[in-house]
Amino acid sequence: MADDRPRRRRTPRTGTVLRTTRVTPHTVRVVLGGDGLAGFAPEHADSYVKLLFPPPGAPYGAPFDVDDVQARLPREQWPVTRTYTVRSWDADAGELTVDVVLHGDEGVAGPWAAAARPGETLQLFGPGGAYSPAADADWHLLAGDETALPAIAAALEALPAGARAEAFVEVDGPEEEQDLATGPGVTLTWVHRGAAPGVALVAAVCGADLPAGDVHAFVHGEAGAVRELRRFLRTGLGVRPERMSVSGYWRLGRTEDRWQAEKREWNAAVEAEEQGLTVAW
C-alpha cells in the first residue's frame, strides 16, 4: 500500500556570516550568528551541519524554500549540500563556528569560505551527530585528517578530567598544525602527509605504543585509510564495534557527491569484511 502520509517539510536554519579567520594557510574558520540559529543545540563532539549552496546561475538565493525549489526546478538547479563538523557552538553569544579546508578553486564550500564576508547569509540543516568520548573508557584513540580535525579538537575539549587519550592528526605539513587543547593525559601526534593521503596516518597509529585497556575510538577521514585503521582496531586492539566511531568522510578519486552515493555500499562491504576477521581479545 502506498504511503499517503504528507511529507514533512524541511526547514533549514539561516546563519549570517559574522567573521572569518585564516587559521592555517589552507583552513578558513567561519563564524555564523543571527536569529536564524535560535534553538541550535549540538550535543556531540562530532556534531555536524549540512550547508546549502545554490549552484551558479540558480534563479534563487538565501533564504529559499528547499522543498519548493526541488518541486519546481530541475535537479541541476537544486542546492548543493556539503557536510561540516561543528568546531564550536557558543550558546551565550549564539555563534556557530565551522572550519573549511581550502583546495584552491576546487569544490563548493572552499571557494565560498575564502570569499565570505560579514553580512552574507547561508542556510543549513542540523545539527546531527552521534559521538562523544565515553566517560567510562580507560583511554581514547582519536585519529583522522583535516576533515576530522574539528571533531577531534572538540573531543579533546570534551574529555573527562584526567582522561587519557592518544590523538593522531594527518595534515600537509607543519604549517597546517593547529593549537589544540590537551590535558596532561593526552598525547597529540601531528602526522605530515606523504605522497598518498592516509598512508602516514595508518603507519603512525599502527606503529604507536598504545595503552592497554578499554578504548573508545574515533577514526574518521579518507575512506581507504579509515578501512585500514578499522581493521587494526578490530584485529590488533580487539575493539568492540560499539566502542568505535569510524567513518570515511571522503574517498580518494571521488567527488563528494559521488562518494555520498557510494558510501552505503562501501560501508556494507567493510562490515561484511569484518565478519571474517579474526578479532584479538
Q: What does the pLDDT read at residue 232?
A: 97
Instruction: Report the first-to-last Cα separation within the chain, whole angstroms.
Output: 48
Residues making up the chain, counted from first to last: 281
CB–CB of 172/247 below 8 Å? no
Residue 259 φ then ψ, to 5°: -65, -45
HSE of 8 in the Cβ direction (CA atoms, 13 Å)? 3
Say whether the peptide bond before residue 174 is cis (omega within 30 degrees of 0).
no
Domain assignments of the chain as residue spans, ordered by start = 13-128, 139-275
Convert 166-196 to b/e letters by CB count within 10 Å (16 or more is b): bbbbbbbeeebebebeeeeebebebbebeee
In angstroms, the CA 235 to CA 233 distance is 6
What is the average per-residue pLDDT within 263-276?
Answer: 74
Give SS3 for 18.
strand
DSSP state of 39: T
Give the per-residue pLDDT at 248.
86
> How would residue 3 be classed by pLDDT, with cut points 50, 70 and 90?
very low
pLDDT at 194: 82
Reported confidence tier of residue 9, pLDDT bands at 50, 70, 90: low
Angle, alpha carbons 257-51-31 (nearest 5°) = 140
Domain spanning 139-275, CATH architecture: 3-Layer(aba) Sandwich (3.40)
Any residues with CB less than 8 A from the CB of 14 and at least 6 apart, and which? 34, 36, 37, 62, 63, 121, 122, 123, 124
Q: Exposed/middle/buried for 5, CB within 10 Å: 0-12, 13-18, 19+?
A: exposed
- pTM (2 decimals)? 0.90
Q: What pLDDT digit, counting tens, does each position of 95-151 carry? A: 999 999 998 888 899 999 999 999 999 999 999 999 999 999 999 999 999 999 999
| pLDDT above 70: percentage of residues in the chain | 94
Task: Please state which CATH number belongs to domain 13-128.
Answer: 2.40.30.10
